[in-house]
Amino acid sequence: MDTIQETNLVTNMLTVKAIAVIELLEGSITHAAKGKDAPHALNSVQLLGGAGGLIARATDRYRLIEGKIEGEGEGHLDHTLISLDDIKRLIDLVKANKVALVTFNRIGDLLTISAAGSSLTLNVLNANYPNTFADLFAKTSESVATDKANFNPAFFADYAKIAGKGNAVSITFTGENKPMAIGVKGNSVEWRALLMPMRII
């Protein structure tokens, strides 16, 4: 006689507000590596979440950013790496349904995003993504006095885009030749970012 064995599966699904997703992803993609020579793993955005909300992370090796938005109810999303091209497709889907809730549902290597009856299924990247975000932020939690710091103005301009017109962007210096902690306040997103100083040759 055959028996059916029950298993407790963790639901890999999370629901968030569409308007917050747009802000989160548009801010995150500014820090993803771009161009023909961009490392495959960094030409992407990492998503993960739980009851506390949805987190998006991106880095191009010279700076990194992490944003968090609130979730709707209980839910969970494992670390999920999505290519930059697919993230842009995801943004287009959500922008067409701004008033809706957005549900992220991962099954294996597929992530399906649903909003107001529209959906998009993306392939999850299989690549080694940096897992040192928490360590890097912890090492730059204190400020120090410094007389000079050089940074790439093109990189810094992205923070103005994320913050929006007329809003402040703060810089905390953490030591000579160490990353600068960037403070950006969003409408729906809790941001934290690091910017590496430029070396003058």
Residue ranges of alpha helices (H) inside the chain are: 18-28, 84-95, 133-139, 153-163
Residue 59: its pLDDT value, please?
A: 95
Top pLDDT among 140 and 86 is at 86
Top pLDDT among 139 and 61 is at 61
Nearest Cα to 45, choosing from 111, 116, 105, 120? 111
Residue 11: its pLDDT value, please?
A: 60
Categorize the per-residue pLDDT at 42 as very low, low, confident or very high, splitting at 50, 70 and 90: very high
Residue percentage of the chain with pLDDT more than 70: 92
Residue 168: its pLDDT value, please?
A: 85
Burial class (CB in 10 A: 0-12, 13-18, 19+), 95: middle
Three-state secondary structure call for residue 112: strand
pLDDT, mean of residues 17-37: 94
For the domain 13-125+134-195, what is the CATH code? 3.10.150.10
The neighbouring-strand residues paired with 46 are 57, 81
Q: Which of 78-87, 98-107, 141-150, 179-188 has the lowest mean pLDDT?
A: 141-150
